[in-house]
Amino acid sequence: MLTVDDYRPLDPAVVANPYPYYAALRRDAPVHHLADLDFWFVSRHRDVTNVLADAGTFTSEAMAALVVRPGGFGASDEPTPVSIVGTDGEYHSRLRRIVNRGFTPRRIAELESNLRDTARQLVDVIVEREQTELLADLAVPLPVIAIAELLGVDPGERDEFRRWSNAMIVAVFERPDARQSEEIAGCLLAMEEWVDRVLAGNAGPNAKDLVSVLMRAENDEALTRPELITFLFTLLVAGSVTTTHLIANAMIALHASPEALETLQRCPERTAAAVEEALRFDPPFQLGFRTAAHDVVVAGTTIPGGATVVPAIGAANRDERVYADPDRFDVHRAPRDHLAFGHGPHFCLGAALARLEARVALEELLARVSSVEITSPVEYLDSLVFRGPKRLDMALRAQRRLLAF
């Protein structure tokens, strides 16, 4: 039987499958001090929910340090604002009020038609070949195109936009070498110049692109230019990589559960529920980071003030106190109390967009194939925060359609 001492987040065995280790934490040490990293892991659903909800006790200071836009790059000498995911209090509330304008239900719903057309075009290529590296062919381009459309990026500039997105992800989650650092600097500069062109041409009272919406004052509130640049940086990183791995993780779960796959092919109306179950079962965002503002007792354990607290979302989402048979992928479950999008004041503002992208991707792909097979071993990201495959090679058998005469 695994023990809490077996849990080391970046151990290859844990990276491959952290869930048995999470179960040991929930069972034996719902608050566990990982001495090597000096992190305090919180693993039960109720406790993780409480940590995420109480921004006064568990501040976003640790998250602010994690998601930092690279300094020294770009055209502006203005100070770089903290990302929205690393702010609290009134400043955070102000940012949320402004950026929420760009993520209204109506605005997200309006994206579906074009998003579905894009997904169909991507799936056409996959089905024609009957094989795919799913990340490159569908799970990466679809979210990037969706964000590009939301921002009003011209279709002719989407390849460049995708290059920026890739560079931002390398900047945050990898250790860029000299060549990569130079490319990141160029991408940030190009993104700032693009923003300035948008503002110069489209920032009138009727402009609908996200940049203009966020820069347009309403009730005397608008983002400053540096705040906008930082928000776009955060959106490119968080808004693309999480949805990419949501789609990929869902397909891995469906491959391992032929009954669930057959259910979705027979009853595509269950796809939205399957997306929720994928978010619960294998969330792309596994661990949050908070800082204890003062000594606090959680699950009978005192966490000292100033400590880094890690609400383990992946562990909470399989808490047997909340979910029956939590290690089973069940597309009939449709859980809406999972924590894949967080909870409380930092609940993911792009949740509706991610749900739409994943649902459309699965609907379009599964409607066209009769079977799927993973054709090479799945290797997962070496990441404390994100969970998803580095690549996903699949063979797919296309549906054979009868001709009507």
For the stretch 11-61, pLDDT in tens is: 999 999 999 999 999 999 999 999 999 999 999 999 999 999 999 999 999
Q: With 50 as the cut, is the pLDDT of residue 73 above it?
A: no
Is the pLDDT at 323 greater than 70, yes or no? yes
Q: What's the chain's average pLDDT?
A: 89
d(CA 366, CA 152): 29
Q: Residue 74 pLDDT > 60, yes or no? A: no
Residue of higher predicted confidence among 231 and 320? 320
Pick left, alpha or beta for residue 193 (phi over 0 → left; psi -120 to 50 → alpha; otherwise beta). Answer: alpha
| Cβ count within 10 A of residue 167 | 22
The residue type found at 298 is V
pLDDT beyond 50 at 402: no
Asked if residues 357 and 243 have their Cβ atoms less than 8 Å apart, the reply is yes
Query: Given a cut of 50, is residue 310 above it in pLDDT?
Result: yes
**Contact between residue 103 and residue 84 where contact means Cβ atoms under 8 Å apart:** no
Question: What's the pTM value of the predicted model, to 2 decimals?
Answer: 0.92
pLDDT in tens, 259-271: 999 999 999 999 9
List, edge to edge, every strand of the sheet that includes 393-398: 131-133, 393-398, 369-374
Boundaries of every domain in the chain: 68-283+338-398
Min mean pLDDT across 315-319, 381-385, 390-394 is at: 381-385
Using a 10 angstrom Cβ sphere, with 0-12 exposed, 13-18 middle and 19 or more buried, the burial of residue 205 is exposed
Which CATH number is 68-283+338-398's, of 1.10.630.10, 3.30.450.20, 3.40.225.10, 3.10.180.10? 1.10.630.10
Q: Are 99 and 83 in contact (CB under 8 A)?
A: no
Distance CA(40)–CA(7), nearest Å, equals 12
Query: What letter represents residue 197's amino acid?
Result: R
Residue closest to 219 by CA, chosen among 317, 98, 43: 98
Residue 318 and residue 297: Cα distance in Å, rounded?
23
Contact 148, 198 (CB under 8 A): no
Residue linked to tokens 């540096």: 226
Alpha-carbon 192 to chain mean position: 23
Among 198-207, 274-283, 330-339, the range of highest mean pLDDT: 274-283
Chain-centroid distance, C-alpha 162: 16
CB atoms within 10 A of CB 389: 23
Q: Which residues of 225-260 are buried (b: 16+ CB within 10 A; e: fewer)?
A: ebbbbbbbbbbbbbbbbbbbbbbbbbbbbbbebeeb
pLDDT band at 69 (very low <50, low <70, confident <90, very high): low
Residue 297, pLDDT above cutoff 50: yes
173 has a pLDDT exceeding 70 = no
